[in-house]
């Protein structure tokens, strides 16, 4: 049968982190497409069955959701509801109006994981954890309402690409290839990953009490990170012309070098802070 959409090999491939798995999703991870938050009111979206927890998923595109390191004043969010589990074999064939989110809030018993291989994928799916993001229940939520302590899950790069494929097909009936979607967002995925590294290294959570102070610290590191990536750097052995590390992350030939350079600069920042006794 012709099926336009794809499915992940395992539903665990979808999630980078889940509160159900680790207790909470790290607040040091910058907000990204596919993040699910609890207690979100979406303007213009009426109540729907299964929305008791008022889960909402950020669907703004990663390339356009920020200005510099700051989220735009509003982001696009869709409603996530509890529903019956959707098998992976059903992803391509049905439910074109939603993004299935298996085991979003409940993860299979850890005893099901082989003791020999702690990273083995758990194939047992739970009834209670099954959710879906409804693509048609969408609205613009003020970004100040996205509370990092209420984040329930983050998607992997692949998970975001599955979301994009289903969104594109829902809106236009065109289903782009998952690999192409991942290629198109590769630089911004890398940027978010590196930014999280910066936060992990430069934000000392033990010294910061209260979510406002933490947010201010995250904003400060975010600004430094953004400035580092946007800084115009002279092209070696050339009189004119410049480049930025953000540009280099987009180029296949420069990507790995840009990553190394960004981590080197992070190491320098970290060293400078240690010397100043700030971390």
Return residues touching other proteins (CB under 8 A): 1-4, 10, 12-13, 15-17, 21, 92-94, 96, 116-119, 121, 156-158, 169, 172-177, 179-180, 183, 189-190, 193, 251-260, 263-264, 267
Smallest distance, other proteins to C-beta of residue 19, A: 13
Q: Which residues contact 264 (CB under 8 A, 6 or more apart)?
A: none
Dihedral pair phi/psi, residue 56, rounded to 5°: -135, 140
- Nearest CB to other proteins, comparing residues 180 and 213: 180
- C-alpha atoms less than 13 angstroms from C-alpha of 38 in its C-beta half-sphere: 15
Determine the distance from the C-alpha atom of residue 68 to the mean position of all C-alpha atoms in its chain, rounded to a whole number.
17
* Closest CB 116 distance from other proteins, rounded Å: 7
Q: How many other CB atoms are found less than 10 A from the CB of residue 28?
A: 19
Question: Least distance (Å) from other proteins to the CB of residue 26?
Answer: 9
DSSP-assigned letters across all residues of 192-244: HHHHHHHHHHH--GGG--SHHHHHHHHHHHHHHHHHHHH--EEPTT-SS-EE-
Structure tokens that stand for 68 in this block: 């510099």
**What b/e readout covers 229-262, taking b as 16+ CB neighbours within 10 angstroms?**
beeeeeeeeeeeeebebbbbbeeeeeeeebbebb
CA–CA separation, 27 and 190 (whole Å):
18
Nearer to other proteins, 38 or 255 (CB): 255
Shortest distance, CB of residue 13 to other proteins, whole angstroms?
6
* Nearer Cβ to other proteins (17/57): 17
Whole-number minimum distance, CB 238 to other proteins, in Å?
16
Closer Cβ to other proteins, 54 or 83, answer by number: 83
Cβ proximity to other proteins: between 149 and 267 the closer is: 267
List the beta bridge partners of residue 225. Answer: none
CB nearer to other proteins: pick between 65 and 258: 258
Query: To which residue do tokens 């702690």 refer?
Result: 118
Q: How far is the CB of 273 from other proteins (least distance, A)?
A: 17
Shortest Å, Cβ 141 to other proteins:
26
Nearer to other proteins, 67 or 121 (CB): 121
């Amino acid at each position: 049968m012709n099926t336009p959409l794809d499915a992940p090999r395992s539903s665990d491939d979808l999630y980078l982190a889940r509160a159900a798995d680790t207790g909470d999703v790290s607040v040091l991870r910058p907000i990204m497409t596919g993040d699910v938050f609890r207690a979100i009111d979406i303007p213009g979206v009426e109540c729907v069955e299964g929305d008791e927890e008022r889960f909402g998923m950020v669907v703004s595109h990663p390339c356009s959701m920020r200005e510099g390191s700051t989220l735009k004043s509003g982001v696009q969010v869709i409603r996530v509801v509890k529903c019956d589990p959707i098998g992976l074999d059903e992803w391509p064939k049905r439910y074109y109006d939603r993004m299935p989110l298996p085991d979003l809030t409940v993860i299979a018993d850890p005893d099901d994981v082989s003791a020999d291989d702690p990273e083995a994928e758990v194939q047992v799916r739970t009834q209670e954890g099954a959710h879906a993001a409804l693509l048609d229940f969408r609205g613009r939520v003020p970004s100040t309402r996205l509370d990092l302590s209420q984040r329930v899950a983050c998607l992997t790069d692949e998970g975001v690409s599955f979301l994009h494929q289903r969104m594109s097909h829902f809106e236009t009936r065109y289903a782009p290839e998952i690999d192409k979607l991942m290629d198109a967002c590769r630089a911004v995925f890398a940027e978010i990953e590196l930014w999280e590294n910066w936060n992990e290294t430069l934000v000392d959570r033990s010294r910061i009490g209260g979510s406002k102070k933490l947010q201010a610290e995250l904003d400060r590191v975010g600004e430094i990170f953004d400035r580092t990536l946007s800084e115009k750097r002279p092209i070696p052995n050339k009189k004119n012309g410049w480049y930025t590390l953000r540009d280099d992350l987009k180029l296949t030939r420069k990507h790995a070098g840009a990553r190394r350079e960004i981590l080197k600069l992070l190491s320098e920042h970290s060293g400078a802070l240690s010397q100043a006794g700030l971390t």
